[in-house]
Chains A and B, each alone.
Chain A
Amino acid sequence: MLDSDWIVLLSAGALAFSVMNYVLLDGTDLGVGVLMGLTRCAKDRRVMAVTILPIWDANETWLVLGGGGLLALFPLAYAILLPALYLPFILMFLALILRAGALEFRDYAPSDGIKRMVDGLLLCGSLIAGAMQGIVLGTLVQGVPNHAGQYSGDGAEWLNVFPLFCGAVLVVGYTWLGACWLYWRTVDEIQSRSKLQAKILATMTVVLLIVLVVWTATLDIRYEQRLSDPLVGCRPCRCLLHC
């Protein structure tokens, strides 16, 4: 029989695997949604929609495994986190529904004006879903007040500056993934535009991530110790923290 340390480690690994897959796969779809909403040419928007249409729902299903996995493997964490993050999660799911409807039904729009509006909804849905996921992560890193296995906060910890900043960083990161995807799956003008966008967004993501790591280290002394451990963080990190 496996001892309980191994079971915990494997459970965490399984959960981390599904969250990572979700971020890489559906994060890309959300990024394409953002870029689509910002594209003016209707023909280009259609091509961008077609690249993700057959696969976005499969990518999104990793979220179900992540949520179900958290409930089944770490029920106590689930019971504390879900009440704390009730509003961000509700907003995220509504945004995902909005996005799905907009993406699947945009071809049935009776006029170009309405189609433009539907793509506007796709942009809003993608932005809100990505931002809420970042906020959830930020709240988790910041720490959720709990007592005896019960959530003991007021349901508004996620409105702090740190979680909101995490939301913004994740949206930029997702848009970067989306630009990379479009560079891979399209040709000619959209491809060259995506290449430029991907370069700019990659720079932004790296800069924002550095700020985020330094900020994380200042949140809690344990984070600082862990991040300045040469095995976990890297030496430049330590230099940054102590200067």
Chain B
Amino acid sequence: MVGLGLLMVGQGLTSLVLRWGHSVYTARWMLRGCVVMAPAGFLAMLSGWVVTEVGRQPFTIYGLLRTADSLSSVSRQQVIGSTWTILVFYLVIFGIGLWVLLRITREPPRTDEAGPQPTLADETGQS
């Protein structure tokens, strides 16, 4: 997490230096690096969660409430069932989201893209 943070700072500073040299959009090695760094924020966030959740064990509230004492009276089957359902739901939704995102990024920008339709405002606004 800390390493990724430093890498992100480094990426920002390098871009700044390249910008002063007017080559930030043309330096291929930098652009490749940006592609590699794309999931860095996501990974750093996940590692942050792992550090807090694992690091505070065996406490839910550090020094005050033990994890064993903070169990809810929900049955085991319900917890297992809901965990699997949420997992499947997230994988499907992240999958579709990633697919849409990649489809949009693959397409180079054009000048003749359709903008907002002014007629829509008349159909859905107050008269």
Contact = CB atoms under 8 A, between A and B. Distances in A.
Interface string B88-127: 0100010011001001000000000000000010111111
B122 A187 contact: yes
A185 B74 contact: no
Given A47-B120, A94-B86, A185 B125 contact: yes
Contacts of A150: 73
Main secondary structure of the interface of A (DSSP, over half): helix
Contacts of B85: 90, 94
A108 interface: yes
Contacts of B52: none
18 contacts: A47-B124, A51-B124, A83-B74, A90-B82, A90-B86, A94-B85, A94-B86, A97-B89, A101-B96, A101-B97, A108-B100, A108-B103, A150-B73, A154-B75, A155-B78, A186-B124, A187-B122, A187-B123
A50 interface: yes
B72 interface: yes
Contacts of B125: 185
B74 A50 contact: no
Contacts of B86: 90, 94
Interface in B6-64: none
Q: How large is the interface on A (under 10, 10 to 19, 20 to 34, 35 or more residues)?
A: 20 to 34
A105 interface: yes
Interface string A180-191: 000011110000
A185 B124 contact: yes
Interface of A: 47, 50-51, 79, 82-83, 86-87, 90, 94, 97-98, 101, 105, 108, 150-152, 154-155, 184-187
A50 B82 CA distance: 33
B116 to A, nearest CB: 10
A161 to B, nearest CB: 22
Given A50-B124, A186-B123, A187-B127, A101 B74 contact: no
B96 A105 contact: yes
A149 B100 CA distance: 47
